[in-house]
Amino acid sequence: MAFLSFVGRVLFVSVFVLSAWQEFNEFGVDGGYAAKALKPKFNVFSKHLTTHTGFQVPAFEIKFLVAGAIALKALGSLLFVFGSTLGATLLILHQLIATPILYDFYNYDIEKKEFLHLFIKFTQSLALLGALLFFVGMKNSPPRRSSTTKKAAKTKTT
Do the domain assignments include residue 156? no
Q: What is the pTM of this model?
A: 0.82
Q: Is residue 7 part of a domain?
A: yes
Buried b (16+ CB within 10 A) or exposed e, 102-140: bbbbeeeeeeeeebeebeeebeebeebbeebeebbeeee
Read off the pLDDT of each residue in 110-137 and give the average, rounded to a whole number.
93
C-alpha distances (whole Å) from 18 to each of 15, 23, 46 are: 6, 9, 28
Q: Is residue 33 part of a domain?
A: yes
CA dihedral 133, 138, 142, 145 (to 10 degrees): 150
The gap from C-alpha 76 to its chain's centroid, in whole angstroms, comes to: 9
154 part of a folded domain: no
Q: What is the pLDDT of residue 48?
A: 87
Asked if residue 101 lies in contact with residue 86, where contact means CB atoms within 8 angstroms, the answer is: no
Say whether pLDDT at 154 is over 70.
no
* Number of domains the chain is built from: 1
More confident residue, 106 or 67: 67
Q: Which domain holds residue 104?
A: 1-140
The mean pLDDT of 88-98, rounded to a whole number, is 95
Query: What was the pLDDT predicted at 128?
Result: 95
Q: Is the per-residue pLDDT at 149 higher than 70?
A: no
Nearest CA to 91 among 15, 6, 5, 146? 15
What percentage of the chain carries pLDDT values higher than 90? 58
155 within some domain:
no
Residue 147 lies in a domain: no
Q: Residue 145 has what pLDDT?
A: 74
- pLDDT higher than threshold 90 for residue 147: no
pLDDT value of position 57:
85
Is residue 28 situated within a structural domain?
Answer: yes
Q: What are the tens digits of pLDDT across the range 35-81? A: 998 999 998 889 988 998 988 888 889 999 999 999 999 999 999 99
In a domain, 70, yes or no: yes
